Each structure stands twice: as structure tokens, then as C-alpha cells.
Structure 1
Amino acid sequence: MRLHRMTLTAFGPFGGVQEVDFGALSEAGLFLLHGPTGAGKTSVLDAVCYALYGSVPGARQSAGTTLRSDHAAPGARTEVVLELTVAGRHLEIGRQPQWMRPKKRGTGTTMEKAQSWLREYDSVAGAWKDLSRSHQEIGEEIGQLLGMSKEQFCQVVLLPQGDFARFLRADAEARGKLLGRLFDTRRFAAVEQHLAELRRGTEAQVRAADERLLAVAQRMGQAAGRTAELPLPELAAGEPGVAEAVLTWAACARSAAREALAVARVSQDAAQRERAAAQADLDAVRETYRLQRRHAEAQERAARLAEHADAHRADRERMERARKAEAVAPALSLRSTADAALQRAAGEEQRARRMLPESFAGAEAAALAAAARKAHEELGSLASARRGEQRLRELGGELVQLEQEERSDAAALEEASEWLADWDAVRHAHQTRIDEAQEAATRAGQLEGRIDPAREQLDAARRRDALTASVAEAQEEALAAGRRAGDAREHWLTLKEQRLRGIAAELAAQLTDGDPCAVCGSVEHPAPARRTDGHVDRQSEEAALAAYQRADQERTEVENTLSSVREALAAATASAGGSPTEELAGALGELEQEYTQVRGLASTLHAVREAFARDEHEHDRRIAARQDAERRAASRTSRREHLAREQAVLQGELAQARGGAASVADRARQLERQAELLTEAAEAARAAQEAAERLKEADGRLAEAAYKAGFDTPQSAAAAALDDASHRALQHRLDAWQQEDLAVRAVLAEPDTQAAAQRPAADPAESEQAAERAEQTLRRAVSAQAAAEERCRELDRLSRSAAGEARQLAPLRAEYDRVARMATLAAGTSADNERRMRLESYVLAARLEQVAAAATMRLQRMSAGRYTLVHSDDRAGRGARSGLGLHVIDAWTGRERDTATLSGGETFFASLALALGLADVVTDEAGGVRLDTLFIDEGFGSLDDQTLDEVLDVLDSLRERDRSVGIVSHVADLRRRVHAQLEVVKGRAGSVVRQRGISG
């Protein structure tokens, strides 16, 4: 695959149309893609991925951001067009994501659907030929031509150095995840998963069957209770022998339950006989006790009646007098009503006469009524005078209102004239403030674009200053660690040499007479070597070797730290430049201070414009108000004269109608009050005369009724009368006394009661206790028999259920044993799997072995033949994944060690070789598609000048077989070393791309 040309329109940070000539860059073999942070270097690579696969790499695709540039014009369509050659075919791919475009008619926006197209160049016809416009068809066609997924493409073509450095030092689990994505071993993982699910399924079936059987056993244990001869065995689901143990225990429990049932039946029969005898005795005692209590209560009631006999006779006499008084009650009620009416009428008459003038003190009712009629006639003649008085008040109000309007209009005219006199000065002041605020807004926009770069440069300068000191400290630590490692190595080599010189003494110590020598084979040992002073044994040498290894490990860690700090310092220096931190801080402070000032002034632009608009509106309103006031003043003069004439006429008429009152209304109220009092007094006088006549008639009727009823005076009859409540209470006492007397006589005459009273006193408490004890004994016996019967039935039922569960368990356990052996073998947990490797890990280990072999071809060239990458399938400890180990062989020492022990520069070599080797293997896996264009991401900032030259030589050698390599880096020194460059420059209107150092 070779990239030729790519055109970006409104994509990512690129607001306009940008063109990248990959063909010209590829002619140089090695080119550099650089630019400041946030300019859009990654967006160039995203555009390549988007053109091929319709989406950007995973992390950025899931970030929820849109592909459309925020700097694009409203009508510009987002588009990526890529021209490339793959599998011998010259193709052009175009992609347009969905976007909101302005409506062609009216305002607003509408959704424009995503579009794609694929064209192929026909060299014979010399023109482009359309192949497809379907997203799905284009995706399938590109996938078949490239032979790799989007994830594989991003890992193989867009080589992420940081990821491979982590891959180089990662554990087997992390390596497995990356290899699984690249080589798509999901089918093997699916086999593992399927076997594991089968195992879990069969295990769940066996466990469920065991649990069902154990649940039956638990229910049998609950049903058996204390009758079982043996305790319920403690069993767990999954254990062998569950069915045999449960069935054996069930047989013993059933036998014990049947014996307990026979004993319970005998106990119940005896308890029933005892309960019947105790109940018969209790019934007899209770009946005697009831009759004795009844006789005693009747005697007590008879005594109480004898005590109240005199009161009963007085109540009967009182009731007889009340019956006679009932004939006089109507006359008494009539006389009481008439007397009350007379009292009320006399009071009303006195009150009404007190309100009248002295001239009406002794007047009769007829005279009072005639005076009231005369007052009403005079009141009717005042109706027209009232209307005139109301109109006079209205005229006064209208005149006052005219005066108020005149004063208000005069004040408004004066205020409007004063305000309008200053209008020209106010308008000029508003315009001046608007111009100043607009200039401040323009200046604020300019300063805002300078503050963020200045702040980023200051932060980078501070990091640069801090990291400079950190580099010095890290260098000192690295030198010290190197010296310690060198001293430890010298000490170990010295001890090793001393041991080798005295190795004969160690061998001689192992000689035995008659046994052949391990060196010469002789069975005679005439002069064996002896250990001298200062002899070094094996333990001393191994201790020195361990100390050296620890010191070397410490040196490696310190060098890695130094490399990281140097890389961070290089990045900070490139961003900060050579300006001192204090100078940058001062410049940023001045910018921020000026920005704050102009932004504060610019923020008043909207308020100033609104104030100007309000004053203009006020100017128009005051001119209109002044004109209205002048028109109203002209019309008020004629209106005032007309009202004054009407007022003079009404005043003369009302003076005659008022008489001596202050107003017509006062005169009317006086007449109304006088008529009302006279009418009320006349009616009260007539009512009092009528009430006196009715009282006299009622007294005559009462005297006649009392004489006929047998009373000497009406007062005696009134005293004997009872109201309804007293009558009911007296009658209730008489009836209750009579009913109680009859009831007591009936009880004392009963033969059974008289006979029981002659017997000794009965006490049922002792018999009740005996009967209760017998009842409890019977209940316990009945409950015990029912429980025993239920226990036997339940045990028989549960035993049959347990036998059925046991028959179903056998084939399930056999199936589980077979599936579990296959699942543990594939999962790497079986004893038959010596390496403890999972099935997926076994496949990935083979791929990793191919990757290590391909990477070694380049790693040996990069390291001058020193390092070789090898795959390790050693068994991992503590449950880690086996078979995915990665080691490096150091030709200088002949030792094999872990890749995590490599230094920073060595890690870069190894990770670059690993990335390229993995690209070759994935390419072969994808069908051998040729990859003529590669991109290598960051990883150069931690290298010194010599190492950087070596890396560039290695990368330059990748151009063999006409392959081009693009480096994505911030390292400033690479701009001098790599001539072909693709620079991304950011600005306020969006980023642009510039190609440098290429022909054409």
C-alpha cells in the first residue's frame, strides 16, 4: 500500500482546504511530520484512517467529538479524499461525514447525510471510473484489499512507539491483549469460553442436583426431628457419596418414626379417658356453685328493696298529683305566654317613646302615626334638591381636576424643555463611549490570542527550569549507580578468579579413597590439594554475584529515570525557547493586566448602546409630551368658564332647599329619622294594648281549670305539674322497682336454687385446674400422634423423592467429569497441561515467536549484533498467563534477561524493532499486502545526539524496497536532520499544512 495524495476540507482543526502530497514526501524516503501541540498532527493520521475505514482511531472516535472543523465556513462541506495504490490498483476514496448545513430556503439548518465514494484510475482510458457509493460495499472492498482491520492498520501502519515500549516491558497478560486484537484470536478464546460455559453449565446441573438431594435430606432431617437414631450427616454439594449417605440415613429415620407413632397412639387413648372423668366432675361443681350464687344475689336484692320502700310510696303519691295537674297545664302555658308577651311589648313602647322629642311624650298611637305620615311627605319633596347638590359637588371636583392638570402640564413643559436643551451634549457623550468600547473589544480579541501561547510558554519554561535541576541530580545518581555496579562487578570477578585458582581444593575435598577422581579417573589420591588462607567458596561467589545483579538493576532503574527526565526536559525546552522564566512571566503579566483593562472597558459596549437607545427613545417621548401639553392647555380655558356659570345657578337653588340644615342630605336624614321614630313608637303602643287584653283573658281561663282539677289555687296546680324529663324519670323509678320485686320473688321460689342453698358452699377452682391438666395432657398426646403420623408420611414421601434425585444424579456427574477435563485443559489449569497455557495463549505464543524472530533481524542491526529477542514459554507464577514471555539475549555477557532490564535507549531500539517485526507478521497474516508507507509516532525526545544519528540511520535503511517512513515528533533537532517535512501550523482561523524540503 502506497499513499499518493490526500485532500482535507473542513476536517478537524483545518478550516479550509488542505492538500498533502504523500508522493513527493515518499520520494525522500524519510520525512518528518511536526508542529506545535494542538496544531493537528494527529488529525492528519486520523484523516488517513477515516478515509480508509470511515472512522478515526478508537480513543478519539469514542471521545464524542465531531469531525467537522469549528473554523469551517457555514456552507463548507467536511470532506477527506485519499488517493493510494493497493494490491496493484490505483484508487481514490472520498468520505463526507454527516453535518448540519444551512437550509437552501429560509433560515436554520438541516441534517446532511454522510456520503462515501470509491473510484479507480483506468490507465488505458486515462480517466477515473466510479466503483461504488455504498458505505458497506466500500468498507468490504478496502478491507479485502488491505487484508486487515482498522485496529491492525493503526498498530501496523501508524506505529505507536509508546505502546510498543509498554508492550516490550509489559507482563504476559498485557501482551496477550494486544496480540489478541492484532491476530484476531477471538475464535480460540471463544472455544475456551464455550468449554468454560459448558463446564459451568454441567457443574451447575450437578450442583443443582446435589443441592436438590441435600435439600430433600434437610427436609427429611426437619421431618424426623429427634426420632432419628443417627444425626443427619454433614454434606456439601459436589462431594462424592452424597446419594449413598442420604439414602442410608433415610432408612434409619423411617424405622425410628414408626416406633414413635405406636407409642403416641397408646398415650392418646389414656389421656382421653382421664379428660372425660375430669370434665364430668367439673360440670357438677360448676352447676352447684351457680345456683348458690343465684340464691345469694336474690336475697341481697330483696334487702335493698325493703330499704327503699318509703321512697317508693312517696314516688307513687307524687305521680298521682302530677296526673291531676296535667288537666291544668294548657291554661298555665297560655297564661305564661301572655304575661311574657305583655312584658316585651311594654319594654318596646318605653324604649320607642324615649327616642321621641318632648312634644310627643303623652301622644296616643293615632297621633304618632299621623306625625310620621307628615314627615314622609316632606321627605319626598327633597329628591330634586339632592340631585342638584350631587351635581354641585361634581362641578367642584371638575374644577379642581382642571387646576391639577394645568399645574401638571406646566411642570411637564418646564422639565421637557430643560431635558431637551442638553440633548446634543448627551448624544455626543454616548457616541464617544461606544467608540471607546468598540476599540477596547478589538484590542481584547488581539490580546486574548497572545495570552494562551504566552501562558503555555511560561509553563514550559518553569518545567524546563525544574527539570534542569532534576537532570543534574539524575545524572549524579546515574554516575553513582554506575560506579557502584562497576565496583560490585569487579568484586565478583575477583572472587570468581580466586575461586577458580582454588577450585582444586574444592574438588579434593570431595575425593574418597577407592573412588575414581572426577578429573583424572585415578582411584589413588597421594597428594590432594589443600585449602589455603583466603579461599573463596561457592557461597561467597554467589553472594558477590547477587550483589552485582542488585547494583546493576539499580543502575538500570536510575538510567531509565534519567532518560525520562531528559525527554521531558527536551520537550519543555522546545516549547519554552531560550527566554528566561522571569522575562516570560513579566511579559505574561503585562499582557494579562492590559487584557483585563480593555476587556473591562469592552464589556460595557452593550450597556452603553442600550443607554444610548433609551435616551433616544426618551428624547422622542418628551417632544411628543410637550406638544400634547400645549394642546390640553388651550382646551381647558373654555371648559373652566362653562363650569363656573353652572355652579353659581345651583348654589342659589340649594340654599332655599336646605333650610336650617347644613346640606340637603342633612335635611333629608333629619326627616327620615323623625319618620322612623314616630312609626316605631306608634306600633309599640298598639302592641302593648293588645298584650294587656290577652293576659286578662288567660287569667280567667287558668282559675276555672284549677278549680275543676281539685286544686285550691292556680299556684297549687302549677307546683304539682311536672315537665317531660321529670315525669319520665319518676315513671322509670316506679317501673324499675316493680320489675325488680317480681324478679327477686321468682328466683327465691325456684326449687333447684332452694336445694342448692341448703348444700355446703361449692368451689370450682380446684376442679377446673384438674380438668385443665387433663385437657393439656390430651392435647399433647393428640399433637404427638398427629406429628408422628405426619412424620411417617413425610419421611416416606421424601425417601421416594431422594431415590429419584439419586437416579438422576449419576449421568450428570459423568458428563461433568468429561467436560471439566476438557475445559481445564484449554484454560491451562489442568495437571495434564504442564505449561499451564491457555488455548488462546498457545496460539498467541506461536505468533509472538514469529514476531520475536522478525524483530531480531532489525534489532541486531540496531544494536551492532549485541541483542537478540527470544520468545519464552516458561510457566508463570501466581496465576499469571504462561507462554507469552519475552526475553533478550545479551551477546556481550551471554546471558538471557527480561526486556524490562533494558535502558531507555535500548528500550527504544527494541520497541522499534518489535513494532516493525509485528508489522511484517501482521502483514503476512493479512495476506502479504505490501506496506510502502509507514508512520512512526513519538519516542525520540529521550535520545542524545549520537543515539539519534544511529536511529535515523536505521530508519533511513527502512527505505529499502522503495518504502517511505514518516516520523511524527516534537524534537526540534529532527527538523535539521530530516529535510523532507510536513509542518502543521495552527492559527485563529484554523490550522494549515506546509511541505518543505521536497521538489515540485
Structure 2
Amino acid sequence: MKPIKLSIEGVFSYRTRQEIDFTKLSSEGIFGIFGNTGSGKSSIVEAIIFALYGKIERVSGKQIDLINLQSNKAVIDFEFEVSGKAYRVVVNLTRTSSGHSTKKLFYQKQEGQYRAMEEKISGEQLTGLSYDNFCRVVIIPQGKFQDFLTLTSGERTKMLKEIFPSLKKYDLSNTLRAMREETEGMQKEKMGQLNSYSEYTIEALNERKEQYAVVEQQYKDLEILIKNLKEDLDSRKTLFDAFKKQEELSQNFNRLKLNEENISALKDRLDQYRKTNRVFGSLLTKYDDLLLRKKRTSDLLSELSLQVADLEKKKQSLEEELAALQKENEQTPLQQQEADNLKTLADLRELESTMAILDTKMKDEQKRLENGKACVAAEENKKQNKEKEIADKESRLLNAEEFRSVRDWFAKNQRLNEDLARLRKENQDLCKKKNDCLAPFGDISPDNPEAELQQRLQDIEEQISKAENLLSDYNVKQALCQYSKALSSNEPCPLCGSLSHPHPAELADVDEHLKQIKSTIRDLKARKETLEKAVSSLDFYSKQIQSKQEQINSLQQDIETHKRQFVWANYLGKSSLEITQMENEDIRLQNELKELRSALAAIDRNIRKYSEALKQIENSVEQSRNALTKHQGRKEELGKNLSEEFVLQYAQVDVNQLNEQRQKLLAVLEKRNAVLAERNAVLSKQNAVLFQREGERNSCKQNLETIIGETDKCESEIERQIACGGFQSLESVRQILSSSFDEDDAQTQIDNFNRQMIEFSSQLAALSEQTSGKDRPAEENIKSDEQTLSQKEKEFKSCIANKGGIEKEINLFETKLSQKTELEKEMKKAEARLDALNKLSQMFKGDKFIQFISTVYLEQLCAKANERLQIITNNKFAIRYWEENFEVIDNLNSGKTRSLKTLSGGQIFQASLCMALALVDTIRLNSDTREDFFFLDEGFGTQDNESIELIFKSLVSLRQENKIVGLISHSEILKEKISYNIAVRLDQNEGSLIENNY
């Protein structure tokens, strides 16, 4: 459980509504709730407990006692978080004529809003903690847990059972009985399974392995025989195939030689074609290409000549049109001058209008400037009055540093007196507890009760020793009686071996005496335990009383020293009430000064605001004046460029008409210039095209002349080659080259013929060598051998199948035997388990094992407590649980152990704190609660500064464990160290008030 927000009203000393925001308060991991004794600090935690569980120890079942005596109702509104979910509980207690009424409702936060839960829900269901465990987890009961260290073993075991319900699970007698029955059933089941494996034996497995060895030998013999048959058959088949292939190749070779003449004629024709193509192929191609180029170039020349003539006519027409346009353009300068004058006149008219507007604006701003200066003067007057009033009140304030020292002196004086009263009350309570320890022993002298109790304890121990000796004697007598009763004639005595028994022992009332002695021993041990407990408690309370008295004496000295430290003459004779009244008056003056300074700051802001506005107005006036001056100069400059006649001519024409007339004139000029530029561009383009076409025509003419020359040279070369090569004419050459003769196909036929001739000759030679000197095998013998081989292969496959079947049986037997072995092992385990369970049943009788587990719990608690105790005490001592008691390990004395009673009061507190934190951690683990948040309700008034410093460091270190600690105390030292805290103050009129310091 982690608190989020608490609101209380009318609860105990809280008359008015008070709120605590735990989210902000606990943001640093540690926070404090501070206040004087009786101010209402612990009531905050009690309100939380009551809201969740509906009860607290203080009201003892009378819920009406929770309502403030001056209130008619009490309201607790508590928001908290459990396992990441937010909840809220609201409790309303109202006084009625018959007593009181209670209304309580839980809410859960869903979609950002709290929604009411079912009425039967409880705080224990939400937190997962019972009321007692919640008080142990959320509020560490240091004072109560200290008693835990001095309990007897039985009382401690009983307490641990209540704190840790899981200890009850160690009553395992029923569980062991069920486990024993389960083991016996399993043993019977395994025995039945073993019976089903009776046929699977080692002998049967060996028999099958022998069968497998015989079949394995058959398998190997057949494998060798089949291999030899295959090799011989393959050799004879290869020779037979060679003779057969030799006959086929001889026939093919003879057929190929019959085509030899046709191939020779084809070769002659191929040679003629290649010779003609080599001489005339490229020459005729070049000649045909030249003829084609000559025709195309001649056609292109004719077309270019026609284009040049057409372009020259167009050029002449454009030159005549441009001459006419240039004549019209001679009037352009006069028209441009008129357009510029119209623009100047329009600008002059617009400038005069702007100047008139600026003049009006400047006059308005001058009036605003005068009004602003009057406002500033009024605010300055207010400021002087406020400053005088502030100076008057400041002179009446107290000296803050001196008054703070005086107030702290009175606060400390009150705190010291309250601590003295508390210590005296605690000392009286300890004396009463000490006397209560002696109450059962009313006849003990009060002068030295410890010595008298020790003497009584020694007497009882002697009585127990005598009784135990007597018990041993009677046990022997009882055994003798049993032997005597068991004696019979002619049977040897178990003690002396004699066969005659003339005087057997007769001891009467032995059993009755044994019962009386055992009862006496039990009574004596009970009295001894009571005395030991009384001696321990008496020693403990004596040391506590001595420690308290030392604290009281020390505190009285502190009070006297504190009185001598009062050195402020101005406050001599003043009471705490007068000091408070003076402080209230000073606070009132400071509040009034705060308001006056706030008002003075507002006046200063107004003055700055008005001053800034005045500055802006002055800047605006200056800008307007500068603009008028600038416009006047521009106006005079524009007037110089216009003649009086021109101005009079357009006196009645407004600015828009002037601009319109100017735009029309500029449009005429622009159109004329555009046409002239366009015609010039067209003429330039025509000249470029004409120049390009003339160049192309000249180039084409030169190219045609070159082609005609090359054509003539080619014709001469062709005629020379015809004459030299013995060809009849150009037409006969073209006829040879243009025939449908396929040169590649002819060459392929020739190559294929030559290749086949070579291959056949080579293969025939190889086959002749392979068959030379050998007889041709008979085909019938080969077929007979193939049948024999097939028969042996069938026998081989049958052998493989038989081998596989036996191998499967062997694997099955081995698997079953392995399973059988495992079952036999499990049977032995079951027998051992059953034997162990019988022994455990004897061990778990009574509380023996629970006491053992309790010892483990206590040892773990000590280990966890020592982790923090070593930090708090600088590793001075540690705690251990040994032989059913707690002991101190003195690290400053070579780790020697001593009694827990030897610790001082402060050391007992440190040990109790660490044991309490360890208990909290353990309870959280056993209750499935994950929020590490708790309150530590302890004053620390009896601790010195060094101890408080160590305790504080230990609590701060808990932040590294993601724990949030809420400290409830009246220690000023801790208040100064914990920055996030709330102060609880008891006001006579308003009750307990909370002041947030975070």
C-alpha cells in the first residue's frame, strides 16, 4: 500500500479540514511528520488505519471517541495505491442521539475517475494484509518488537506462527500419510509392469544374437559370389558387343566411300566461287554504292538551287517593309518626353496629398503627448506617498535575527520541559513494570530482590537435580520389575543367566512413585522458568530505569544550561504567549508591507508603461516631421522639371486621368517598337537561312564532282580485272556471284565427310586390336549366366530380409530389457522412498519440525537485521540466534558473544529498529505485497546526536532499495536533515494544524 492523499476533519485533535499530498511529500524517498508531544502526529497514521480496517487500538472499540469533542462529525478521505491500481476510501462518523452512525465506502479509479466498489469490499482484501500485519508493515512497532527479543522459545514460536501463517504448512503428518499411500500404490503398479516383461531375458537375447551371426555369414558369402559372377559376365558381354560393333562400322565405312566423287565436284565449284568473290566482291559493292551516291547528290543540288531563289525574293520584301517602319519611328522621342511629363505631374499631385495627411497626424500626436505627461506626473505623486508609508512600517518591524533567536530559545525551552516530563512518565512506567514483575513473589524484600530471586532459583535447581536422581533410581526399579515378571522356570535370566529364580524381585507402587516424581520435576521446572523470566525482566527493567534516570539528569542539566543562555534584555520577563503575540504583530506588519510593496511595484509598472508610450509618441512625431521635410524637398525638385504651360494645360485633370493618358501613349510607343524589333528579327533569320542554303548548295556541287571522279576510276579497275582474270564480261561475273550457291553448307558437307572417314578408320583400328586373337562369345552362354546371377540375387535379398527381422528382434529385446532395468531401479527408489517417509513420519510428530523452521526464520531475520545494524553501529556489534536465545556478537572484542541484556538503552533501540525492518521485509515477501512504504513512529528523544546521525544515514540508504520511509518524530535534528516534511502544530482555538514544507 502506498498513500496518495489524505484529508481529515473532526478526527481526534483535528477540528478543521487538513490535507496531505503524499505524492509530493514522498518524492525524495524519505519524509518526516514532526511536532511536539500531543500535537497530533500519530493521529495521521491512526486515521489511515481506521479508514482501511475500521479499528485502532486507541479507541478500544468505541468509534465515537475518534470524533473531536468540539465536532459533531469526523470525515476521513484517503486515496492510496496497491499494485499499480488507485483506490479511495471515505469514512463519515456522525454523532447521534443514541451514539453515532458510520458510513464507509471504497472507490476504484477507472478511466481517470473514482467509481464506487461493491459494499462488501474490505481494506484487508485490497492491501492483502491483515490488521495486525498491516500495523507491523506500515507502522514499525519498535517498542513492541523489543519484547520479541526477550520471549521464551515457545512464546516466540507462537508469535512467528501468527506473523507467518505459512509455518502452519509444516504440519506435514497428513501430507506424509498421503505420500506414503501414493508410494505404496506406485510400488504395486511397478510390480505389475515388471510381470509383463518376464519373457524378455538375457538368455533369449543371446540366442537371437547367435542366429544373427549365422545369417550374417550367409550374407557375406552370397555377396562375394554375386560380385565374381557380375565381373565375369560383364567381361564376356563387353567382348560380344565389340565384335558386333566392328561389323556395323565396316558396313558404314564402305557406304561412305561411295560418295567420294560427289564431294570432289562440290569442292571444285566452291573454289571457283571463292576466287570470283575475292577479286570482284568488294569492287562491285563500291561501284554500285558510287552510282547510288551520284544520283542522290544530283537530286539534292537541284532542290537547294530552288530554295535559294525563293529566299532571295522574301529578303527583298522584308527590307522594303522595314524602311517604312523606320520612317514612322522618327516621332518617338517627342512622344516619350510627353509621357515622362505626365508621370512627373501625377507624382507631384500624390505627394501633396500625402503631405496633408502627415500634417494632420502630427497635430493629433502632439495632443496625446501632453496627456501622457500629465498621467506620469500623477503616478509619480502616488509613488512618493507609498514610499513614505513603507518607510513608516519598516521602522516598526522587529529585528528578525534577534527575534528568531529568542523564539528558538522559547521553543527549545518548551521542548526540553516536554521531554523531561515524558522521560519522568516513562521512568514511572518502568518502575511500575519492575514492581509488577515482583508481584507474584510478594514475600521478597524490596531492598535486594535480584539476589533473593537468584537464591531461590539456585534452590529450585538443586531440588530438580535431586528429583532427577530419584527418577533415575525408580526407572531402574521399574526395569527390574519388568524383568522379574517375565521370568519363567527353565529359562535363563537376561541379567545373570541363571536357570533357577528362587527369590524374584517384588517392588510395589513403582509406577505410582514414578508419576509423582515426574509431576514434581515438571512443577519445579515451571517454577524455574518463571523465576528465570522474572530475573531476566527485572535485570532488563533495572537497566532501563538506570538509563532513563541518566537521561533525566542529563536533560535537567541541559535545561539549566539553556536558561543561562538567555541574553536578550529587550525580551526579559516576556512569556511564550507575549512572544507569540509579538510574532503575530510582526507578521501582520510584514503582510501589510508585502501589500504596499506590491502596490508600489504596480505604480512603477504604470510609470514605465506611460513613459514607454510617451517615447513612442515622441518618436512618431519626429518621424512625421522628418517625412514632411523630405516630401517638401521632393515636391520642389519635381516642380523644376515641368513648364508652367504644361501644368496649366492639365490643371483640371486628376491623377487617375493623368496616369490613364500616359499609359495609352506608352502603349502606342511599345507596340511600334515591338513591331520594328520583330521585323528586324525576321530579316536577320532570313539572312541566316539564305547564307546556310547557299553554303549547302556549293558544298553539294563540290561533292558531286568528287563522286563522278571516283566512279570513273572504279569502272577502269573493273575492266582491268576482267581482262586479267579471263572473265568474259561484267555480266558473267555478276552471274557467278548472284547464283544461289550456299558456301557454308558446301564447306560443312566436305568437312563432315572428311571427319567421318577419319573417325571410322580410327574406331575400326581400335576394335580390331580389341578382338585380335579372341573368339566371339556365344550369345546363349551369356543369357544362361544372367539367369544364374538373377537367382543368386534373389537368395541375397531373402538373406537381407531374414537378417533385418532378427536384428529388429534383438533391438526389441534390448529396449525391453532396458525398460525392465529402469522399472527395477524405480522399484528400489519406491522402497527407499517408503522407508524415508516412515522415518519422516516419526520426525514430524508434534511441533519438532515447526520449531526447527522457526529457528531458520529467526536466523534469517538476524542476518537481514545485521546488514543494517553494521551500518548504524559502524560494525560495532551484531545479533545472532543461538540455542533458543538472542546473543550479541561484540566485533570490538574479537567477535566474542555476550548476553543481549548487556546492551545499553540506545543500543537496544538500534537492534530493535534493524530487527523491525528485517521483519517488515519478511512479512512483505510472505504477504505478496510489493509496495515498499512504511511509517516509523519513534521520537528518538533518548538518542545522542551521533546515534541519530547513524540512524538517519541508515534510513536514507533505504532509498537505494526503492523504499519510502515516513518518519514520525519530535526530533529537531532530524527535522533539519529531512527537507520534505510536514509540521503538526496544536492551536488552542483551531486544533491540530498541518504546515507543508515541500
Q: Do the two structures share a fold, i.e. TM-score over 0.5?
A: no
Q: Which has the higher contact order (CA 8 A, sep 6+)?
A: 2
Q: Tell me the TM-score normalised to structure 1 length.
A: 0.31
Question: Which is higher, the Rg of structure 1 or of structure 2?
Answer: 2
Q: Relative to total residues, which structure has the larger helix share, 1 or 2? A: 2
